[in-house]
Amino acid sequence: MKKYNMSTIEEFFEYCQKEFNYGWIDQDGKKHEGVNDGESYSLQSPKELMYSKLGICWDRTELYRDYFKNMTNLRYETYYLLYEDGKGCSSHTILVYYKDNKLYWFEPMFQHKDCYYSGIREYNNLNNLLTDFKVIWIKNAIICGMISKSFDEKNILIYQYNKPKYHINGYEMREHINNSKFIKL
């Protein structure tokens, strides 16, 4: 079944880079720009995101997961990085896929001019990929003011997580993550 009109990962990547804006949909279907509100946020299904063209990393990663499930035979995983400071939990999610004994970070979302880390990047092992993800996310988070330059390294956590239920709020998403596999680097 051809669920998407893009037959290659590269085509899908370009589509994701160009077509979506950063923002979120609340439980009443209202669109918002910027960072989501944990209580009223609602995780969109891939179909809903394709229609709204507006989503945060959680929404977009579920679209990526759906594409890889329906359009490839490749193994893939999703990872959630967060900075737990008790003030709002800055975070980001990515999809990782495996092909020809290599791992690839699939990240079409962040294109900040001072910390561009969007791309399909190749790695030899998961530890290197996740370490790179952490280092680059920290740089971006400092530039964007999500964390301070004096952040506490021990508050950065990474989890591998499975598909969550759609339409959960931000608190329920965090609970889903808390019950996922903790990754120690």
Better pLDDT: 137 or 64 = 64
Single out the residue of 95, 23, 89, 31 nearest to residue 63, CA to CA. 95
DSSP label at 41?
B
Look at the block and give the residue holding tokens 């896929």: 97
CB 102 within 8 A of CB 126: no
What does pTM read for this prediction? 0.93
- Per-residue model confidence (pLDDT) at position 1: 39
Per-residue pLDDT, averaged over 33-56, amounts to: 93
Tokens of 25: 């949909």
Domain coordinates in residue numbering, the chain: 9-183
Pairwise CA distance, residues 136 & 11, whole Å: 24
Using DSSP's 3-state secondary structure scheme, residue 143 falls into helix
Look at the block and give the residue holding tokens 């950063």: 22
- Per-residue model confidence (pLDDT) at position 112: 62
Tokens of 136: 């680059």
pLDDT in tens, 95-112: 999 999 999 999 998 666
Helices then strands, counting H and E runs in the chain, come out as: 5, 8
pLDDT in tens, 160-169: 999 999 999 9
Per-residue pLDDT, averaged over 80-90, amounts to: 83
Strands (E), the chain: 23-25, 31-33, 76-83, 90-99, 102-107, 119-123, 156-161, 181-183
